[in-house]
Amino acid sequence: MKGTICWMGRLSILALVVGFAGEAAAQTWGTTVDDFNILANTQITLTGVASAPVVVPEAGISPGAGPATLTNASITTAHYNDAKAATALTEAGTLDTSLNGALTNDLGVITTFTSPILIGPGVNRVEMTGLGDITNTDATINVTGGDPTSIVIFRLPGALTLTRTNIIFTGGVLAGNVYWQVKNDVAITNGGAIPMTMPGTIISQTGDITVSSLGASDLNIARLISLTKGVTMTQSGGILTIQNPTTGGGAGPVVPGPAVTSCDEYFYPAPATGATGKFHYCMTSAGTARIRVYNAIGDLAATVVESKAAGVNESTLNTARMAPGVYLYLLQKEYDNGGSSISKTKKFVVRH
């Protein structure tokens, strides 16, 4: 699949820019940095191809003067050494410092990144000493447990190289409450056969951040902040999606249920290899979740319709009889109060 917008049969596939919400008690989150998808100190370089341009909603450089280097790419709202970018970078530094605060669950030091990683409510931190190069062949790391109040901080005292590894959170954790606190360079690459997701906010304290989507499958990347250097993103294979894991509200606790107005929407496990898979999403109030699943040529493959309460929800799909391949889905929320919304097209993979 190539391009920001492609057509497959009767269904258009759109590259997503997904918003996330969730407050956290151990973070000092500024309202200005919250607007940025990418924030760099020196330079931003974005490269796509003509059929697959890279699109970033909002990015900034400070104190570097810019502009960003763009090849088949665009930034909808750019800030080059202006007051907003400077304020955002200052707030990002304050955020980074705040992540060193008090913990609820110290998960200790790990030297191998194995699945699953079990977390709880409150502030969870994983010290990844000696774990600077994570290379898995189309592997999925499951981070399970917790709830919408959980904060998860992965802290690396060196560099981080993450290759062909899909990170999936289950149990209600919001992407806006996930942090990767890295001392040096960050390099994230998907050159594999399955979609790769890197949720949360990535902060490099002293290094560059490099993101590459080189294979046939997509790469969904989180918010990127380089406090002292630059950010480079390259798309030459699958679609490179820039998420916006909005945190908002700084230190206030998350209230489960109706107060959670948005959260990460995804299908897991990725890929689905067993008899069932699950759609994860939030409802702002009680209503009906209507999920339509299409095969690669746009034919309707399955429909799930369920009544749901406000808050974090999941719907189950029987994948046992589904042919292996890529599937697309639309999530429509019809609220009892008369409101409604429909997601952009998302996809998942079935393997047996």
pLDDT at 113: 62
Residue 64 to residue 55: CA distance in whole angstroms = 21
* DSSP summary character for residue 51: T
Q: Say if residue 1's pLDDT is above 50.
A: no
Instruction: Look up residue 137 and give its two tokens.
Output: 């062949």
Q: How far apart are CA 309 and CA 318, in angstroms?
A: 22
Please provide residue 17's backbone torsions phi and psi, each rounded to the nearest 5 degrees: -125, 110
321 CB-near residues (< 8 Å, 6+ apart): none
pLDDT at position 244 is: 54
Q: Is the pLDDT of residue 318 over 60?
A: yes
Mean pLDDT of 269-297: 85
Minimal CA–CA distance to 233: which of 202, 273, 278? 202
DSSP line for 174-209: -GGGEEEEESS-EEEEE-SSS-EEEEEEEEESSS-E
Predicted local distance difference test score (pLDDT) of residue 69: 96
Residue type, 174: L
Residue 253 confidence (pLDDT) = 29
| Confidence at residue 128, expressed as pLDDT on a 0 to 100 scale | 76
> Which pLDDT score is estimated for 52?
76
In 10 A of CB 72, how many CB atoms? 15
Strand duo 151-156 + 178-182: pairing: parallel
Determine the pLDDT at residue 136: 53
CB-CB contact of 183 with 206 (8 Å): yes
pLDDT digits (tens, 9 = 90+) for 172-192: 777 778 899 999 999 988 877
**Percent share of the chain, pLDDT over 70:** 81
pLDDT at 4: 28
Q: Which residues, other chains included, contact 194 with Cβ-Cβ below 8 Å and sequence gap of 6+?
A: 138, 166, 217, 270, 271, 349
| Amino acid identity, position 78 | A
Report all structural domains of the chain as residue ranges with CATH numbers, in order of start: 15-242 (no CATH), 266-350 (2.60.40.4070)
pLDDT of residue 254: 27
What is the pLDDT, as a whole number, of residue 91?
A: 92
Question: Is the pLDDT confidence value at 42 over 90?
Answer: yes
Is residue 74 within 8 A of residue 56, CB to CB? The reply is: yes
209 pLDDT band (50/70/90 cuts)? Answer: very high
pLDDT tens digits, 134-179: 555 556 777 888 777 788 898 888 888 888 777 877 777 777 788 9
Give the tens place of pLDDT for each residue, 87-132: 999 999 998 998 888 788 887 776 666 667 888 888 888 887 655 4
Q: State how far the Cα of 273 lies from the Cα of 236, in Å rounded to an integer.
A: 28
Report whether pLDDT(330) > 90.
yes
- Report the pLDDT value the prediction gives residue 251, as an integer from 0 to 100: 29
pLDDT > 80? residue 67: yes
Which of 316, 265, 326 has the alpha carbon at shortest distance from 294?
326
Spatial separation of the C-alpha atoms in residues 349 and 320, rounded to whole Å:
13
Name the residue type at position 286: A
Between the ranges 47-56, 97-106, 327-336, where is the mean pLDDT highest?
327-336
pLDDT of residue 21: 30
**Nearest CA among 40, 48, 34 for reference residue 68:** 40
* Lowest-confidence pick of 68-72, 80-84, 264-268, 331-335: 264-268
CA angle 244, 42, 22 (to 5 degrees): 20
Residue 193, Cα to own-chain centre: how many angstroms?
19
Structure tokens at 174: 């919001």
Residue with tokens 């994983």: 126
Question: Considering the chain, what is the average pLDDT of its residues?
Answer: 78
pLDDT digits 0-9 by tens, 218-233: 788 878 999 999 999 9
Indicate whether 262 pLDDT > 80.
Answer: no
pTM of the model: 0.64
Total Cβ atoms within 10 A of residue 309? 12
Give dist(CA 343, CA 340) in Å, integer.
10
In the predicted structure, residue 14 carries a pLDDT above the cut 70:
no
